[in-house]
Every structure is written in structure tokens, then in C-alpha cells.
Amino acid sequence: MNIQPSVFAQIMSFLPLDEFRKCVRRYRGDYRVRRFSCLDQFFCLAFAQLTYRESLRDIVSCLQTMRSRLYHMGIRGRVSRNNLAHANETRDWRIFADFAAVLIAEARRLYGDEDIGLELQNAVYAFDSTTINVCLSLFPWARSQKRQGAIKLHTLLDLRGSIPSFIQMTDGLIHDVRVLDDLPIEPAAFYILDRGYLDFSRLYTLHQYRAFFVIRSKSNIRTRRLYSRPVDRTTDLISDQTIALAKPTAHLDYPEHLRRVRFYDRENARRLTFLTNNFVQPALTIALLYKLRWQVELFFRWIKQNLRIKSFYGTSANAVKTQIWVAITVYALVAIIKKRLRLDLPLYSFLQILSVTAFEKTPLNQLLTDPGNQENQAYDPNQLVLFDL
């Protein structure tokens, strides 16, 4: 008799379930619940993320087919479309947001010493947002400016490991720059921003918290050059200057001096101008820091390709937020497992293997390290790869 737990159960065994129960009690998620608990709901949604299920009917059909194995997978309640839909509509999404924060903290701890290619000891974050388009008639709460529904996912990505450290979901009417007001600020950390976030009063708030920012400048900003430093033009640097804002209102918003670094992007044949409040790091480091901002774009593309966050299992705001937070939890969990098991396997291949072996009883370490599982994994240059060790 094979007593080895299923692959899905082995994956879920890495979860700190005591922390999950604390989150459930915090928001009274299981109050008057008898048959289908928050943990059952989480396991069903996590299964959907790991096995690429597209709808509630899809989830329930797959799980009911393996009804005899559900108890050993950790699912104790009766899995039905009504039970799962009702749970998604009524259970507070903050349960799953708080639990995701627990796993994100653990993942960041494990990846805290990752090399980002620069000689920096500081924490480095990239902040940006992505838009998920939805049907406004089905999601009337997800308003947008273009007569269509939209959900924005504002993300602060820790570049040491590509782990999201802060996520906020809004409708499409919220301007990206307003979310800077809610950003957790860490002293001495670098925050890399695109020019859409160029708001001098908010940047000055970062400066007052003794954090550093690197942001791409706009062409219409009026400045006064105060000092120029020599640069090595063989590195594609154009200039390194200390400036002051010339427009009176902008100077009131940011009364300190700024550093302006101009760089020639040879790959795209264009000149880029960066503003920063860091006067210590070399100018080339400032330019290369901004180049790292592309990792947050890769993160958005990767989760849209490999997690279920573009089609939703419910239409209410609570159901959508629950699904997205479970997806982020699964992302952090897979990153944790990959690090703890010291797997030299692209995250894409990791998820592909799990998606077709969820009910098998092969030891997880053997399944993910067996060369037979990887010999036919052809490299696709268009496929995003994260967590390379």
C-alpha cells in the first residue's frame, strides 16, 4: 500500500498552516461554517492555479473525479460549484492577502542574498502597475476611463529574487502616482520608478524618509545646472550633473538639489535622462539600476502567462481579489520550495511538472530533480524564466 502523500499534498505541506488559521480567525472566516472551510477554499483555488483550471466548473470536475483522494490532499469539505462560488463571494479576501504577506516575507528572507549584478548592499525595489482588462457589464465595480472594465495591480518588486513585497489592487480610474502615498518606505533602499511617477512632492517624501529613488525624467522639466562631474564616455554615459528645479512650484515641492544622469541606450538608439537623490553611487550604477526596472515588467508578463489572473472564477470584487491573492501566494510558495530544495530548474518547468502530477505520489524532490523529467524540456527564448540559481 502506497502511503506516500500526493504531489499536491507535499506542496501544501510547505505552508505555515498555523499562520493561515490566525488569518482566518482575524477576519472570522469560518464563523458558522460547517462543511466548506476557508482552508478547503484555499486548497481548491491553489489547485486551480497549479493545474491551470479555467473556471469553477473546471475545478470542481477535476476534484470530484479524484473524490477518494481529496481527504489526503487536505480538502475535508464537500467540493461543489455552489460551495466554492459562495465562499469566493463571502469570505473576506483579506484572509488570503494577509496569508500571502506571510509567505512573501519568508520568500524575501530566503532570497535576501541574491545577486542583482551590482555591487550594492542596499535593498532595491522596482515599482510599476499592470492592467487587467475585464468586461464592465460583468465587473461594474472595476471602472476605467475608456468605457471598459479594468483592474490595476500596483506592485513593488524586490529585485533580489523577483518577489513582490507590496501589492495593491485598484480600479482603472486610480492614477498610478497616487499609490506612492501607500508605499512602504525603507530607509537606504533604492526605489526605481518610471517617468509616470514623476511627482516631486511625493519624491521628496521618499527623500525625507532617507530612501533613494531613480526615476526617468521628462523632457519638459525646467532645471538649472549647478555642477558637472567628469564621466567616462566609453561606458555610454553622457553627463553627470547636480541640478536644481527652476520652476517655482516644482522647487517648492522638492527644495533640495537633484542629480541628473544622462545615458545613451545603444540597444534602442536613444538618450535617457535619470533623476536621483543619491550622490554617492557612480553614475553608471545609477543608469544600470534603472535598467533593472525591466524585471517588474517581466514579472507582470510571467504571472499573466503562468497564473490564472486574467479570467476569473467570480465577478465580485471580493472574488477577484481572493483569486489574485491566492495566485500570489502560490507564486511565493513555489519560490520558497525551489529555494529550500535547492532546485536548478526554471520556474516555468517547475509549474509545468506540477500541473500534470498533482495526484501522483512520487516524492517531490525526486520528481523535480529526475533528469528524465527535464531531458525533453526544450528552451523557448520567448518564455520568461525567473529564479535562475
Confidence of residue 386 (pLDDT cuts 50, 70, 90): low
Looking at the structure, tell me whether residues 19 and 90 fall in a common domain.
yes
Rounded mean pLDDT of 319-324? 96
Beta bridge partners of 169: 153
Q: Are residues 263 and 322 in the same domain?
A: no
* pLDDT at site 271: 94
Q: Crossing angle, helix 38-51 and helix 81-90, to 10 degrees?
A: 110
Residue 379 scores a pLDDT above 90: no
Provide the grid cell at 92.
473576506
Residue 4: pLDDT band by 50, 70, 90 thresholds?
confident
Residue written as grid cell 488570503: 96
Distance CA(84)–CA(67), nearest Å, equals 15
Q: Single out the residue of 90, 76, 84, 83 nearest to residue 28, CA to CA.
A: 90
**How sure is the predictor about 387, in pLDDT bands with cuts at 50, 70 and 90?**
low
* Within a domain: 29: yes
Domain residues for the domain of 68 are: 7-96+314-373
Whether the predicted pLDDT of 97 surpasses 70: yes
Residues 27 and 91 in one domain: yes
Nearest CA to 237 among 275, 268, 266, 212?
266
Same domain, 30 and 87: yes
Q: Is the pLDDT of residue 70 over 90?
A: no
Residue 330 pLDDT > 90, yes or no?
yes
Q: What is the pLDDT of residues 33-45, one digit of tens each?
A: 888 999 999 999 9
Q: State the total domains in the chain.
A: 2
- Residue 384: which pLDDT band, with cuts at 50, 70 and 90? low
233, part of any domain: yes
What is the reported pLDDT for 251?
93
For range 293-309, the mean pLDDT:
92
User: Among the three residues 234, 262, 280, which one is the final residue of a domain in this structure?
Assistant: 280
What pLDDT does 2 receive?
A: 56
Q: Is residue 150 part of a domain?
A: no
83 pLDDT more than 50: yes
Mean pLDDT calculated for residue range 34-63: 92
DSSP-derived pairing of the beta strands 190-193 and 124-134: parallel
pTM of the model: 0.90
Q: 177: which residues sit within 8 A by CB, 6+ positions away?
A: 196, 197, 198, 199, 202
Could you tell me if residue 163 is inside a domain? no
How sure is the predictor about 373, in pLDDT bands with cuts at 50, 70 and 90?
low
Region 171-190: what's the mean pLDDT?
94
pLDDT at 376: 44
Answer yes or no: is 200 within a domain.
Answer: yes
User: Which range among 53-67, 80-94, 372-386 shows the weakest confidence by mean pLDDT?
Assistant: 372-386
Q: Are residues 199 and 275 in the same domain?
A: yes
Would 111 be classed as within a structural domain?
no
Categorise residue 74: left if φ over 0, alpha if ψ from -120 to 50, beta otherwise: left
Residue 262, in any domain of the structure: yes
Does 71 reside within a domain?
yes
Q: What is the dihedral of CA 297, 380, 303, 89, to 10 degrees?
A: 150
Which whole number is the average pLDDT over 358-368?
A: 87
Q: What is the mean pLDDT of residues 372-389?
A: 49
State pLDDT tens for residues 244-285.
999 999 999 999 999 999 999 988 889 999 999 999 999 999
Stretch 98-119: mean pLDDT, rounded?
93
